[in-house]
Amino acid sequence: MDRTGKCLCGAVRFTIRDLNPEFGTCHCKMCQRWAGASLLALSVPADSVSFEGGEHVKHYQSSEWAERAWCENCGSNLWYRVTAEGPFHGTYHMPIGLLDDTSGLKNMREIYVDRKPDAYDLAGERERLDTAATLALFGADE
């Protein structure tokens, strides 16, 4: 399925072709600071998304291996993206809330669950990885 989305002010818009409705949730402290709470994000291959308004996108290199981007006008977070070489290079991780239509999405995995604020849990059964298991999966610190 194709899905469209945009930032709060609409300066940055995008279309994702053949969206994979399975998304992941990251509870790491960096995502909490960036997103305000845990980050629920879709994995979007670079060649399946097209952007409009790219001149309004600002980037922050949040670690040696990844960047985070947002709209300069309204501050909406747009993506987390691995910049380092490797199997995850270039893939966009985009907050699900940017989509115009969020129906049918499936939360498939939570990572860094031991860093999640104890004030909330996400309902349902899925793979839940603590910090050690997350590091083993990605081979890096968040």
- Residue ranges that bind Zn ion, judged by CB under 5 A: 7, 9, 11, 26, 28, 31, 71, 73-74, 142
Beta carbon nearer to Zn ion, 28 or 99: 28
At its nearest, how many Å lie between Zn ion and the CB of residue 2? 21
In the bound state with Zn ion, the residue whose beta carbon lies nearer, of 73 and 107, is 73
| Pairing between β-strand 106-111 and β-strand 22-26 as defined by DSSP bridges | parallel
As a whole number of angstroms, the longest Cα–Cα distance in the chain is 40
Q: For Zn ion, which is the closer residue by CB, 105 or 138?
A: 138
C-alpha to C-alpha distance for 116 and 32, rounded to whole angstroms: 9
| Cβ at position 92, least distance to Zn ion in Å | 14
Whole-number minimum distance, CB 11 to Zn ion, in Å? 4
Number of CB atoms found within 10 A of residue 110's CB: 21
Closest C-alpha among 70, 65, 68 to residue 82: 65
Q: How far is the CB of 77 from Zn ion (least distance, A)?
A: 10
- Given the complex with Zn ion, which of 19 and 110 has the nearer CB atom? 110
Concatenate the DSSP letters of all residues of 125-137 into one string: --EE--HHHHHHH
